[in-house]
Amino acid sequence: MSLSLSAEQPAAPDVADDGVWLECIECGDTFAPFDDVRYTCDECDGLLEVRYDELPTFDDFEGHGVWRYAAALPFESGVSIQEGSTPLYEVPRLEDEIGVKTLRIKHEGMNPTGSFKDRGMTVGVQVAKELCVGRLACASTGNTSAALAAYGTRGGMETLVLLPAGKVAAGKIAQASLHDARILEVDGNFDACLDIVQELAAKGEVYLLNSLNPFRLEGQKTIGLEILEGFLADYDTVPDRIVLPVGNAGNTSALYKAFRELVQAGELDEDDVPKLTGVQAEGAAPMVEAIENDADEVRRWDDVETRATAIRIGNPVNAPKALPGIRETGGTAVAVSDEEITDAQRSLAAEGIGVEPASAASVAGLRKLRDEGVVDDDERVACLTTGHLLKDPDAAAAAGGDPEPVPADTDGVLKHLHQ
Ligand code: F0G
């Protein structure tokens, strides 16, 4: 199976362009990477992956940000706003409270537009330039639209975003709007938006930059590479486990691909690959259901709801890539309640780390798995926090304390403080 950790590195097919090609994960058919616009397999509609005839080694990585990892990407550089090189915070109190050997927080909210989506867009928008497409588009729970708008306009292209009406956090809409995206508010959920934008893309109206686009996931691989390099530098070993929020399962797929490529290159031992551990909100947990039932396919949930609107997704399109990633690495998936998410958001905030609700799901999930004894106390763990607190100011304000009204004089303020 092509998505197994022990898969052999394939030889470059004739269609390869400079050692890069696209391959269907279902039937193995191969395609030229930059000749035509294509998101899925022509033959069987399976998901595509980008393949390389030369795999990267740690020694190949130099410089800063996403493009430090150019050896693992299809280009040397792309449309960039200095994405990547995000902090890997220590959280001593949380580490103690949860009770693991090491806990680090990879805070992707520190990217230029405040989420990990920038890593995928720097590559995906570059591909759009190579393909000379006109209009870029995505369906989004918010962050993808903010990143697409920023990278699209920087690359000099028009952008169109489809958002579920009333279900996108304020900061994200503001970003998409100011970065000049045309915003369509759809009377339906994210999955309906994605269905529509896929049909628009199939009709040639737009170039699709959702994580169905295999090039976006190439950029997102760099999250995994940064985490590994960070742990190797500080502990001389890679983490035992990486815990991450799951929506469309793009990151889960991307991290798994990054690790598979390192294994194939002989840079990482198969047994050392971090256990990929996905976390979903209870009201939108089709991946968790599939893992728990040991199912081959994920059942689409038509009614989804959670305060973590970024992961309010019922049809994780990257599931065929992500399920093997979770299983082959010995990971798992867990669902958490909105209350558990907000508690974790407060715990991170108490360490000075501001994240949006979906991001806190990773820490909530780790806490739950530790309580259940699934995670051992001697594990070294990295939790991914995917978006910044300011993305969803309403959720942050609701989770925090209320401002206290006081009169505009010092005596009045002192009286209030001492009462
Ligand atoms: N966390 C945040 C903050 C997100 O915005 C998303 C996805 C995820 C986690 C899930 O990541 O899809 O790779 O499993 N947001 C998309 C969007 C759907 O439109 O912004 P995934």
259 - beta bridge partners? none
Considering the domain architecture, whether residues 157 and 242 belong to the same structural domain is answered as no
Q: Ligand 1: which of 136, 143, 256 to mutate, most ligand atoms within 8 Å of CB? A: 143
Q: How far is the CA of 213 from the centre of ligand 1 (A)?
A: 14
The verdict on the CB of residue 280 being under 6 Å from ligand 1 is: no
Residue 414 lies in a domain: no
362 — pLDDT class (breaks 50, 70, 90): very high
Q: How far apart are CA 419 and CA 415, in angstroms?
A: 6
pLDDT of residue 270: 97
Q: How far is the CA of 143 from the centre of ligand 1 (A)?
A: 7
Feature table: binding site for pyridoxal 5'-phosphate: 143, 247-251, 386
Boundary (domain end) residue, out of 192, 212, 232: 212
Considering the domain architecture, whether residues 189 and 223 belong to the same structural domain is answered as no
Q: How far apart are CA 250 and CA 324, in angstroms?
A: 13
Which pair of tokens denotes residue 203? Answer: 């009709």
Summarised one tens digit per residue, pLDDT across range 305-338 is 999 999 999 999 999 999 999 999 999 999 999 9
Considering the domain architecture, whether residues 129 and 104 belong to the same structural domain is answered as no
pLDDT of residue 10: 84
Helix or strand holding residue 399 (H, E): helix 393-399
Boundary (domain end) residue, out of 188, 212, 236: 212
Summarised one tens digit per residue, pLDDT across range 226-240 is 999 999 999 999 999
pLDDT of residue 318: 98
Considering the domain architecture, whether residues 34 and 175 belong to the same structural domain is answered as no
Q: Any alpha helices (H) in 236-283, and if so which ranges?
A: 250-264
Summarised one tens digit per residue, pLDDT across range 275-311 is 999 999 999 999 999 999 999 999 999 999 999 999 9
Summarised one tens digit per residue, pLDDT across range 34-74 is 989 999 999 999 999 999 999 999 999 999 999 999 999 99
In whole angstroms, what separates CA 234 from the centre of its chain?
Answer: 24
Considering the domain architecture, whether residues 21 and 170 belong to the same structural domain is answered as no
The verdict on the CB of residue 143 being under 6 Å from ligand 1 is: yes
Residue minimizing CA distance to atom 13 of ligand 1: 250
pLDDT greater than 70 at residue 165? yes
pLDDT greater than 70 at residue 1? no
Feature table: binding site: 143, 247-251, 386
Considering the domain architecture, whether residues 167 and 234 belong to the same structural domain is answered as no
Q: How far is the CA of 405 from the centre of ligand 1 (A)?
A: 37
pLDDT greater than 70 at residue 95? yes
pLDDT greater than 80 at residue 269? yes
Considering the domain architecture, whether residues 313 and 188 belong to the same structural domain is answered as no
Q: How far is the CA of 211 from the centre of ligand 1 (A)?
A: 9
Considering the domain architecture, whether residues 236 and 300 belong to the same structural domain is answered as yes
pLDDT above 70 covers a percentage of the chain that reads: 100
Structural domains in the chain (count): 3
Rounded to the nearest integer, the mean pLDDT of the chain is 97
Considering the domain architecture, whether residues 205 and 228 belong to the same structural domain is answered as no
The verdict on the CB of residue 140 being under 6 Å from ligand 1 is: yes
- Crossing angle of helices 319-328 and 250-264, in 10° steps, is 50
Q: Ligand 1: which of 105, 141, 167 to mutate, most ligand atoms within 8 Å of CB? A: 141
Q: Residue count of the chain, please give it.
A: 419
Residue minimizing CA distance to atom 1 of ligand 1: 386
Contact status, residue 416 vs residue 406, Cβ threshold 8 Å: yes
From 212, 229, 21, 211, select the one nearest 120 (Cα to Cα).
211
The verdict on the CB of residue 358 being under 6 Å from ligand 1 is: yes
Taking CA atoms, 319 is separated from 23, 43, 315, 383, in Å, by 17, 19, 9, 20
164 - beta bridge partners? 186
Considering the domain architecture, whether residues 133 and 50 belong to the same structural domain is answered as no
Q: How far is the CA of 13 from the centre of ligand 1 (A)?
A: 33
The verdict on the CB of residue 144 being under 6 Å from ligand 1 is: yes
Residue 74 lies in a domain: no
Residue 65 lies in a domain: no
Residue 22 lies in a domain: yes
Say what the pTM is.
0.98
Residue minimizing CA distance to atom 11 of ligand 1: 247
pLDDT of residue 94: 98
pLDDT of residue 2: 72
Residue 159 lies in a domain: yes
Residue minimizing CA distance to atom 15 of ligand 1: 310
More confident residue, 391 or 36: 391
Which residues does 208 contact at the CB level (< 8 Å), separation at least 6? 39, 137, 138, 197, 198, 201
The verdict on the CB of residue 246 being under 6 Å from ligand 1 is: yes
233-254: average pLDDT: 98
Q: How far apart are CA 392 and CA 142, in angstroms?
A: 10
Task: Give the position, in ligand 1's atom list, of the atom nearest the Cα of 391.
Answer: 3
Residue 67 lies in a domain: no
Residue minimizing CA distance to atom 10 of ligand 1: 247
Residue 69 lies in a domain: no
Q: How far is the CA of 390 from the centre of ligand 1 (A)?
A: 16
Query: Contacts for 28-36 with beta carbons within 8 Å, 24 or more apart?
Result: 28/2, 33/74, 34/127, 34/130, 34/131
pLDDT of residue 158: 98
Task: Give the position, in ligand 1's atom list, of the atom nearest the Cα of 147.
Answer: 20
Considering the domain architecture, whether residues 8 and 140 belong to the same structural domain is answered as no
Residue 185 lies in a domain: yes
Q: How far is the CA of 12 from the centre of ligand 1 (A)?
A: 32
Q: How far apart are CA 184 and CA 161, in angstroms?
A: 6
The verdict on the CB of residue 80 being under 6 Å from ligand 1 is: no
Residue minimizing CA distance to atom 19 of ligand 1: 140
The verdict on the CB of residue 356 being under 6 Å from ligand 1 is: yes
Taking CA atoms, 360 is separated from 105, 318, 364, in Å, by 10, 21, 6
8 — pLDDT class (breaks 50, 70, 90): confident
pLDDT of residue 53: 95
The verdict on the CB of residue 30 being under 6 Å from ligand 1 is: no
Boundary (domain end) residue, out of 160, 185, 212: 212
Task: Give the position, in ligand 1's atom list, of the atom nearest the Cα of 251.
Answer: 13
Q: Any idea what the CATH number is for the domain that residue 189 is in?
A: 3.40.50.1100
The verdict on the CB of residue 109 being under 6 Å from ligand 1 is: no
Residue minimizing CA distance to atom 6 of ligand 1: 310
Tell me which residue range forms the domain holding 17: 1-54
156-168: average pLDDT: 97
Considering the domain architecture, whether residues 170 and 256 belong to the same structural domain is answered as no
In whole angstroms, what separates CA 47 from the centre of its chain?
Answer: 17
Q: How far apart are CA 272 and CA 282, in angstroms?
A: 30
Contact status, residue 146 vs residue 117, Cβ threshold 8 Å: yes
Which pair of tokens denotes residue 9? Answer: 């590195």
Q: Any alpha helices (H) in 276-328, and if so which ranges?
A: 286-292, 319-328
Q: How far apart are CA 89 and CA 78, in angstroms?
A: 27
7 — pLDDT class (breaks 50, 70, 90): confident
